[in-house]
A and B are shown apart, each in its own frame.
Chain A
Amino acid sequence: MDAKELNRRQFIKVTTATAAAAATGIEGIIAARRAPAYAQGTKLHMVRWVDFIPESDVELKRQMPEASKALGAEVVLETINANDLQPRITAAIQSGSGADIFIMLWNWAQLYGSSLVDVSDLATALARSEGGFYDVWPASAYVSGKWLALPHSIIGNAVAYRRSWLREVSANGYPKTWDEARRVFAQLKQKGKPYGQTLGHTFGDAPTFSYPMLWCFGGAETNPSGAKVAINSKGAVESVKFMQAFWKECCDEGGLAWDDTNNNRAFHAGEISATLNGASIYIVAKRQRDKIKDEKGEPMWQDIDHAPLPSGPAGRFHLYLPMSHAIMKYSKNPKLAKELLRWLHKKENYEKWFLTQEGYSVGATKSWENHPMWGKVDEPLRMFRTAARTTRIFGHAGPATAKATEVFSKYIITDMYAKAVQGLSAEDAVKWAAAELKQIYEG
């Protein structure tokens, strides 16, 4: 009899603590030191891209059992090729089943808005506690007055170049303007050391080059309201003309068929002298110093430096890659998914991932600019610290709507340059792009 009463009391204690933990969220869970009351066998599935810094995926996968323990549910992380993300998201939304959380690149939250859970509570709390988001985030993840994706990080980009090779052609540092760059890389191409740039159908390195190329000559997709296509302009034509010359005189012309990995491999193989990329070329070269060597047999990373894209007549602009996480509306566990995102952004967890990136990604919020890591990283990586302050996003000069995402997904801006370097006149290439943009923005 006594023993039975004791068991009942124990049972009540346990269930009360568990219920309290579930009701008060992750803080409550940690305080109660128990997993929340999710049904046994509850799974949470998260899909991210395959990171260009492999150590970061290793770290995140290492964190998953910890997250599972903290949340009382099995958290599964799946990584897939970035070019396969959009098809996978579309299939998941249409079938109403799939991962609970997807990584969102660029401004995809605009495109999939009707299928995403409002995470304004998480986003507001994160921005408040970490010094605010960068300016690119509202255009990327804030849709119709709601945060539909939780900002996670921004991947900066810069031109990775071989210091010694540029010195060979008397370049004192990296060229500041595109005209200077043309002079330098024309000489290098003649020496068999061209500039490497993709103009292929790929999600990262192609648009991060082609959009700033348009902007730095004063070109724009639309007018400021986004209602009228504005690409058929003198600036756009000038930028295409410049690109035709730069391509022929300076670039590895195989770049038309490159994806986001080709320039990394070409650079590490000593085939190209410079390329626009994230910091991964430098970081991987340093981490694999025994394998990646220069023509003298020395570790190549010692000869790599970074510089921002050169300026054009209208200035210097960048397109960096914002990465956020979105919870899908069809998810059976949206609250749990929110708790996972909150857990991932807890300073002690996020920091471990952030450190593996070594500057390849910067934080979504400004406070990560002040992290002590920046004082310890190598000089060529320090320029990425404040990179996220200046980026633009698709659709400029208009808003970054779903239509701007459609232009990106169809590679229209990149193909405008690709067509021109293959022989179409600059005027006709711009006209072609204008006709395609009109179908999307004004159709």
Chain B
Amino acid sequence: MKKPIAGGAGSVAGLEVALPHPRATQPQRLTRFLENERALAAILLAPTVLILGTFIAYPFIMGVWLSLSSTSVGNVGEFVGFKNFAKAWNDSIFRTAFGNTFYYTFWATIFKLTLGMWLALLLNRHFRGKRIVRASMLLPFIVPTVLSTFAWRWMFDPTFSVLNWLLYKGGLITTKLPFLSDGVYGMWCAITVNTWRGMPFFAITLLAGLQTINPDLHEAASLDGANGWKRFWHVTWPLLKPVTVVVVVFSVIQTFSDFQLIYVLTGGGPANSTHLLATYAYQVGVATGLLGEGAAISLFMLPVLFVVVWLQLRYLRRMEGA
């Protein structure tokens, strides 16, 4: 004997389907619309596109337009082509800032990488209080840059430097060291502070990378007679390279466009010897009100960073493919 199928003809449910139901058409249409993958993708992506468009694309396009115009504070400018770029290139302060930016980024990244790697290797070992040390290591990275830089500025103060006082009392110097009042010292003070601040980011990321390396590999290498250096060079380093490349890319971008640290520590002085592209762009664009020229100076960073990122990502892809 055949059992009646629920909802089939003759059943109560079947009768219900047959009745007119005006509201049911709406959700059906919506469901059909959402079942369309393209439409759903567009809806899901829309908020992200809107946010990226508003906060990244619009300011970027605006920056490009400003750099090609004679806009100054309160005055809508005219299109001037590459005049602002040419003017910047002919400006000796710009060229100093351009060179300083490379110098500062290069040395700060080298130090952050070296010291960050060293710290990561130390923290990868087992010792008592490891968690506390790991957490406290992040402090320089957590404290707002402006605050920590003010503290450094106080330590490097030309008249009341606590570092000079300590060195003098320790019998290591007889006259004050010109921490911020000499161009070369000033730049190295800035590199020191940047390294102090950025090193934890390197250390913690490299530490995460180190912990993904299978200890058996080290054990096998030890059994084969590899010493500590050989184990690092032939086992740890090749496996850590992808993480390192990503960290270096991030760091180069951040350091190349650094602003707060220099602004607070030296203001670009003495005599522009510590100006970076970001601080000089700010001085020209915001402090002096020449928005077009300021935008052109800051846009000089774009091709440089683009090439750095492109080279490093290309290298990364090649490693992944190998």
Give 18 pairs: A residue, B residue, CB < 8 Å, sorted on A: A90-B286, A91-B286, A114-B74, A200-B267, A201-B268, A254-B176, A256-B158, A262-B157, A262-B158, A266-B159, A405-B288, A409-B287, A410-B93, A410-B283, A418-B271, A422-B273, A435-B92, A436-B91
CB distance from B93 to the nearest CB of A (A): 7
Cα A326 to Cα B133 in complex, Å, equals 54
Known A90-B287, A115-B74; contact A439-B160, beta-carbon cutoff 8 A: no
Q: Is A339 an interface residue (CB 8 A)?
A: no
DSSP class of B's interface residues: helix, strand, loop or mixed?
loop
Let me know if B200 is at the binding interface, CB within 8 A.
Answer: no
Q: With CB as the reference atom, state the residue of chain B lying closest to A196.
A: B159
B119 on interface, CB distance cutoff 8 Å:
no
Cβ contact of A257, chosen from B75, B269, B286, B289, cutoff 8 A: B269
Which among A202, A256, A257, A443 has the highest number of chain B CB atoms within 10 Å?
A: A257
The yes or no answer to B73 lying at the interface (CB within 8 A) is yes
Return the chain B residue nearest A328 by Cβ: B74
Q: Is the CB of B74 within 8 A of A439?
A: no
Could you say which residues of chain B place their CB within 8 Å of the CB of A202? 267
> In the bound complex, do residue B270 and residue A418 qualify as a contact, i.e. CB atoms below 8 Å apart?
yes
List, in ascending order, chain A residues with CB within 8 A of B273's CB: 422
Across the interface, do B287 and A436 meet the contact criterion of CB distance under 8 Å? no
Scoring A residues 402 to 443 as 1 if CB is less than 8 Å from chain B, else 0, what string do you get? 000110011100010011001000000000100110010001
CA A113 to CA B75, docked complex, whole Å: 10
The answer to whether A199 has its CB under 8 Å from any CB of chain B is: yes
> Quick one: which of B75, B272, B288, B290 contacts A415, CB cutoff 8 A?
B272
* Contacting pair A200 B269 (CB below 8 A): yes
Size bracket, chain A contacts: 35 or more
Question: Chain A's nearest CB lies how many Å from the CB of B153?
Answer: 9
| In the bound complex, CA of A87 to CA of B176 (Å) | 34
A283 to B81, CA, bound (A): 53
> Which residue among B180, B270, B272, B282 has the maximum number of chain A CB atoms within 10 Å of its CB?
B270
Contacts of B267 in A (CB 8 A): 83, 200-202, 259
Q: Is the CB of B159 within 8 A of A254?
A: yes
B181 beta carbon closer than 8 Å to chain A:
yes
Within residues 163 to 180 of chain B, which ones have a CB less than 8 A from any CB in chain A? 176, 178-180
Q: With A and B bound together, what is the CA distance between A424 and B207 in angstroms? A: 47
- In the complex the two chains form, is A90's CB within 8 Å of B178's CB? no
Q: Does residue A165 face the partner (Cβ distance < 8 Å to B)?
A: no
Whether the Cβ atoms of A265 and B182 lie closer than 8 Å is no
Q: Verify A257–B87 contact, CB threshold 8 A.
A: no
* Interface check B99, CB cutoff 8 A: no
Report whether B74 and A265 are in contact in the complex, using a CB–CB cutoff of 8 Å.
no
| A82-117 residues at the B interface, CB under 8 angstroms | 83, 86-87, 89-91, 93-94, 111-115
